[in-house]
Amino acid sequence: MVNLQILNSTLEGNIACPPSKSYTHRAIAIASLSSDSSVIKNPLISRDTLSTIIACKMLGARVEESVKNKSLLINGKESFDVPDNVINLENSGTTLRIISSMSALVKKGYTVLTGDESLRKRPMKPLISALNQLGVECFSTNDKGTPPIVIKGGGIAGGDVNIEGNISSQFISSLVISCIYARSEVTLNVKGKQVSTPYIQATMETMKNFGVQINHNPEYSQYIVPLGRYKGTTFTIPGDFSAAALMISAGVLCGGKISIKGLNFDYPQGDNQILDIVKNMGGNIRVYKEKGEITVTGSNQLKGIECDLSNTPDLLPAIAILSLKTTSPIKIYGISHARLKETDRVSVLASELRKLGVSISTWKDKMVIYPIRQIRNATLDSHNDHRLFMAFAIASLLTEKSIVTGAESVDVSYPVFLNDLKRLGANINLLK
C-alpha cells in the first residue's frame, strides 16, 4: 500500500484531461470484433484498459501500441479462438462485462474470466441470465453470481431477452456490442429502472463509428440489435469527463485558477453533468466548447444542492468533497448502484469524510452531507478505490496535513493524476 502525506495547497495552472476510460474500453473491444484493421487514437493506457487489451489478445485479436503516434493498431476477428489460459481481468468491471459476451463468440471451448478480490465480488447474475436466454451456456463457479465466470463458446443464438437495468448499464453495453453476430436478431427488454444510460449511449456512439446502428425506444428500455458486422475505422478517444470532474472539484476547492484542456463535447458523457452542478452551487467555472477547455477558479463558499446521480454514479466522489465548502446541505439521490463499484462508495465516503469533521447521513439510495464547521487533519483510507483516492487526495489539500492510503490505485483510470496535482502546485510527499 502506497501512502501519501498531503499538505495545504493552492492549485494554479493548466493540465490536459486524460483520455476517456469508457470510450477506450469500448473502442478496443469493438475493433477486436472487426475483421478489418482499425486505429484507435489517443487511447487511455491504464491498468483497466490494459485488462481489455490483454483479454482481446487472448481471444485472438492483434493489438499493437504505437507510443510515438499515441495510438493502437487493432486487427480483430468476428469469431474467436479459445484462450489458452484463464483470463485475469485484474480490477476492471467494464472488461469483465464486455468480455463475457464476446467470449460466447469463441468457436469452440470454454473461456474462464476472473480477477482480483474486488472484481470477484462484482455482480454478474443479470448478464449471466441474459446470455443463458440467448442460448449461451454461461455460469458463475460459485452460488453468488460473481466471478469466476465460465462461458461456453459456439455463438449466440439470438431472440428476445429480459434483463434487469438497476444494477449496471455495462450489461446492456456488453450485449449490444457482441449480439450483432448472433444467429438471429436480438431484442433486449430492460426490466426496472435503467441506471447509467449515458454509458449505453457512449457504447452505441462508438458502435456507430464502426458502422453499426442500434435501434432503441425513447425510454432506453428496449433495444433492437440487428445482425451486421463492424467495419474497421480510425477512432479518436475523447477526453474523460469522469477524470475532469475530479479536477474541476479540485479547482473549485483549492484554486487559484486552473484550466483543463483536451475535452470533446460532441460525444455522450453523462459526467459532463458536473458542469451544471458546479454552476448551480455557485462555483466559478467557464466552458469553451470550441476549444475543448474548462477554466475553474476557486470559491470561498458554495450552495448546497439536490442532485440525482442515477445516470452518473462516478460523480459521487467529486460532488461529495465539494461539501467541504457548502453553506447548506448537499442531498444526493440515485446512488444505490455506487455501492456496487470497486467498493461500496457510499459507505466509504461517509466513513472517511467523517474523519475530516463532515456530518453525513446515508440510506441505501440517498446521502445528505451537511456543512462542515471546521476541517480536521485525518488519515483517509481509500480502500484501494481509484476514484475515492483521488477525491480524498483533493480534499486533503484543504487540511494542514493529512495522509491518504492507496496511491497505487490511480493507475486504474488516471495514471498521471499525482503528476498533474504536483504540476498545479500540490504539496504531496510519498511516505515510505
pLDDT digits (tens, 9 = 90+) for 279-304: 999 999 999 999 999 999 999 999 99
**Is the pLDDT score of 170 beyond 80?**
yes
- Average pLDDT over every residue of 392-413: 96
| Residue pLDDT, tens place only, 38-52 | 999 999 999 999 999
Reported confidence tier of residue 432, pLDDT bands at 50, 70, 90: low
| Sign of the dihedral defined by the CA atoms of residues 56, 62, 66, 69, in that order | negative
Q: Compute the distance between CA of residue 287 and CA of residue 78 in angstroms, rounded to an integer.
A: 41
Overall average pLDDT of the 399-420 stretch: 96
Report the pLDDT value the prediction gives residue 255, as an integer from 0 to 100: 86
The residues spanned by each domain of the chain are 3-18+239-431, 21-236
| Residue-level pLDDT at 230 | 97
Cα–Cα distance for residue pair 334/263, rounded to 1 Å? 26
The three cell numbers of residue 354 are: 467523517
185-234: pLDDT as tens digits = 999 999 988 899 999 999 999 999 999 999 999 999 999 999 999 999 99
Q: How large a percentage of the chain has pLDDT more than 70?
A: 100
pLDDT at 32: 97
What pLDDT score does 11 carry? 97
Mean local confidence (pLDDT), 323-345: 95
Residue 164, SS3 per DSSP: strand
**Euclidean distance between CA atoms 340 and 333, whole angstroms:** 15
The type of residue at 135 is: G
Q: Give me the chain's average pLDDT, please.
A: 96
The length of the chain, given as a count of residues? 432
Cβ-count burial of 64 within 10 angstroms (0-12 exposed, 13-18 middle, 19+ buried)? exposed
In the chain, % of residues over pLDDT 90? 95
- Give 430's pLDDT tier (boundaries 50, 70, 90): confident
Rg of the Cα atoms in the chain: 21
Considering only the C-alpha atoms of the chain, give the largest distance between any 2 of them, rounded to a whole number of Å.
Answer: 62
Query: What angle separates helix 241-254 from helix 386-396, to the nearest 10 degrees?
Result: 10
Q: Is 385 designated active site?
A: no
Asked, colleague to colleague, whether 3-18+239-431 and 21-236 share their fold, the answer is: yes
Q: What's the CATH class of domain 3-18+239-431?
A: alpha beta
Q: Is the pLDDT of residue 348 over 90?
A: yes
Interval 55-108: pLDDT, tens:
999 999 999 998 888 999 999 998 899 999 999 999 999 999 999 999 999 999
pLDDT of residue 104: 98
What pTM was computed for the model? Answer: 0.95
Choosing from 48, 240, 271, 314, the catalytic residue is 314
The domain defined by 21-236 folds into UDP-n-acetylglucosamine1-carboxyvinyl-transferase; Chain (3.65.10)
Phi, psi of 239 (to 5 degrees): -65, 155
| Cis peptide, bond prior to residue 148, ω within 30 of zero | yes
The confidence score (pLDDT) of residue 79 equals: 87
Q: How far is CA 168 from CA 45, 118, 124, 136, 392, in A?
A: 24, 16, 9, 20, 25
